[in-house]
């Protein structure tokens, strides 16, 4: 049988490079089938709440791990910070808030060949 190797981002190393749990501070939009029904209708909010510091409500600030890992939304499962141009701004300028990073990235262009990447590690 052909064994497929899966790569995962090493978030501990990433934080040391300055990502500051970047993905957990983005707007996490739920797909329609993930929204909890409200009176038989899909909830209109459609995203995960943030705490007072702008982090996803599921981030455990002691371990900096997701407390909802097994049930995390599809967008969290599919997201790769290494292909996100906003991460390049974070790695060079630090993280203030998502609006500030979006403004800074509007005036910044970095070819993908020059992207800094968060190291990946193998997961069997």
Domain ranges of the chain: 1-26+80-124, 27-78
Q: Is residue 46 classed as helix, strand or coil in its secondary structure?
A: coil
> Residue 110's pLDDT band (boundaries 50, 70, 90)?
confident
Structure tokens at 15: 């934080």
Q: Are 57 and 48 in contact (CB under 8 A)?
A: yes
Which pLDDT value is given to residue 6?
A: 60
Which pLDDT value is given to residue 2?
A: 45
> Residue 40's pLDDT band (boundaries 50, 70, 90)?
low
**What are 67-106's pLDDT values in tens digits?**
988 888 999 988 888 888 888 888 888 877 888 888 888 8
49-78 b/e (C-beta count within 10 Å ≥ 16 → b): ebeeeebbebbeeeeeebeeeeebbebbee
Which pLDDT value is given to residue 21?
A: 84
- Computed over every residue of the chain, the mean pLDDT equals 81
> Residue 18's pLDDT band (boundaries 50, 70, 90)?
confident
Which pLDDT value is given to residue 102?
A: 86
pLDDT of 123 strictly over 70? no
Which pLDDT value is given to residue 57?
A: 92
């Amino acid at each position: 049988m052909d064994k497929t190797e899966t790569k995962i981002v090493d978030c501990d190393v990433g934080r040391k490079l300055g990502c500051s749990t970047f993905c957990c501070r983005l707007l996490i939009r739920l797909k329609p089938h993930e929204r909890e029904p409200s009176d038989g209708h899909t909830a209109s909010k459609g995203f995960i709440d943030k705490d007072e510091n702008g982090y996803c409500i599921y981030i455990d600030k002691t371990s900096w791990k997701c407390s909802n890992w097994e049930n995390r939304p599809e967008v969290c499962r599919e997201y790769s910070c290494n292909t996100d141009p906003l991460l390049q701004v974070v790695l060079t300028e630090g993280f203030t808030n998502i609006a500030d990073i979006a403004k800074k990235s509007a005036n910044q262009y970095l070819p993908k060949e020059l992207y800094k990447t968060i190291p990946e590690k193998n997961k069997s």
